[in-house]
Structure formats: structure tokens, C-alpha cells
Amino acid sequence: MKMIVAALLACVVSQVNAQQITSPVSSIRVTADATVSAKPDRALIDVGVLTQEKQPQNASSQNAKQIDTVVIAMHKLLGADADIKTINYALNPDYQYRPLGGKSAVSSYTAMNVVRVTVDDLDKVGAVLDAATQAGANHVESVRYTVRDQQVLHAQAVRDAAAKARASADALASALNLKILRVLSVEEGDSSLPGADAADLRDPSAPAAPPPAQSSSFVVTANVTLTVEVSAR
């Protein structure tokens, strides 16, 4: 009999502990955004050469000579240590399509080589485009204004968003006559770096145009979601 009573008591204690463990936690969940801006201090200029020839070897070799001339001109303008790197190369056939269901045939080949020129002196953007086109660049893919250290802006935006989220949680708890016991979770949402992604795309065959107007600010947006445990005062 004693063993049965002890077993029943253990079962009751186990159920009580389970209820305590699974009992719901009162919480408040808030989301906040913050935006930080800075003046751009870097330009990413993507320029290249398109070469069309009957034979793929000719298209490739002519393109290589032309892009080398462009790169040399860039180094002459910006210095031997200028940041210039190839970001895209392609060699594709051009097809001539025949009407009435006739078979298409390769009419020529187009080679494309694009280099990215990183410039920290924004006053030289126009000069870079001019020098590139004079050296043979016939493709301006994009000119983007950005900042050198985006992580600094991102960190500041996250801090500001977290502070806003905590302030909102404090305000809600006070309005509901609750007190915050502890932070349960903090989640960072997707950050936005529009200045880094906005491209100024142009027709590949179009000549270089004047540089786009410099953006007045580079903007970074952060999103933070905060969950806190609360209880009655």
C-alpha cells in the first residue's frame, strides 16, 4: 500500500513539474527600424569593351587588345596602384534568323569584357569615363556611389533599431501596467543597402554618357525584433 501511495505521489509531483515547465510565458514582441545615412565617398565604375567579329578567335583577341588599352589608360589617370579588376567576360555567338522556319545560322561572335574601376576621389568619375571611352571602351554598365566602410553604418543602424525596439517595449509594458523581467530574444531582420545595389544601367552599345548625379547620401536601414518577458507589477 505504501508503495502505491508513493507511486501516486511521484506521479502527481511529475505532473505539477510538467505544468510548471510548459506554462506559457507572458511576453511582448516589438519590431523597430532605423536608418543611418552618410555622404558617399567611393564610386564603382563598370566599363567595358564589346567586340564583334566573324570568327570567335578574332573577337576574343581584338577584345583583349582593346580592354588592355582601356586598363592602361585607367592606370595612367589614376596611378599604378589603381583598383581595377575584371568582373565579367563573355564570348557568345550571334545568330541570323531566317523566316519561314529556316534554320538560324551563326553570323558572328561578340566578346564582352567588363572591368570595375574603384575611385575614392569622386571628382574623377567624369575623367574616368572620358579616359575609358577615348581608350576604346564602348560599354558603360553602371556607375554606383557607395561608402568605403558600410559595416560602420550597418552597426550604427542596428544599435539605433535595437534602442527603438527596447523603448517601444518599455512603453507598452508601462501602458499595460506590466514590468519587463528579461529579454527572451533579439532578431535582426534584412538590412537594406540601396546605395550599394542601385545601378545605372545603359544600353551596351551606347557611348559613355556624363556621370550620373552623385547621390546626396548613402542610406542603410536595419530592422530589429525584440521579445521580452513581462509580468504584472
pLDDT along the chain (233 residues), means of 10: 40 46 80 95 96 95 96 96 96 86 86 97 94 95 92 95 97 95 93 49 45 71 96 91
**Cell numbers for 145:** 556611389
Helix (H) or strand (E) holding 166: helix 150-175
Cell for 135? 581608350
| Radius of gyration of the CA atoms of the chain, in A | 31
Q: Burial code of 186-216, b = ≥16 C-beta within 10 A, e = fewer?
A: eeeeeebbebbeeebebeeeeebeebeeebe
Q: Retrieve residue 146's grid coordinates.
A: 557607395
Q: What are the grid coordinates assigned to 192, written together?
A: 537594406
- pLDDT at site 190: 76
Closest by CA to 141, choosing from 27, 49, 60, 26, is 49
Return the pLDDT at 170: 96
Number of helices (H), then strands (E), in the chain? 5, 7
The maximal CA–CA distance of the chain, rounded, in angstroms, is: 103
CA distance 137 to 208: 8
Q: Are 109 and 93 in contact (CB under 8 A)?
A: yes
Domains of the chain: 24-41+147-233 (3.30.110.170), 42-146 (3.30.70.2970)
Angle at 65 between CA 60 and CA 69, to 5 degrees: 145
pLDDT for 193 equals 59
Which pLDDT value is given to residue 25?
Answer: 81
pLDDT for res 215: 58
pLDDT confidence of residue 205? 44
- The DSSP output letter for 173 is H
Whether 43 contacts 143, CB under 8 Å: yes
Q: How far apart are CA 141 and CA 86, in angstroms?
A: 13
Distance (Å, rounded) from C-alpha 225 to C-alpha 117?
38
Determine the 3-state secondary structure of 217 from DSSP.
Answer: coil
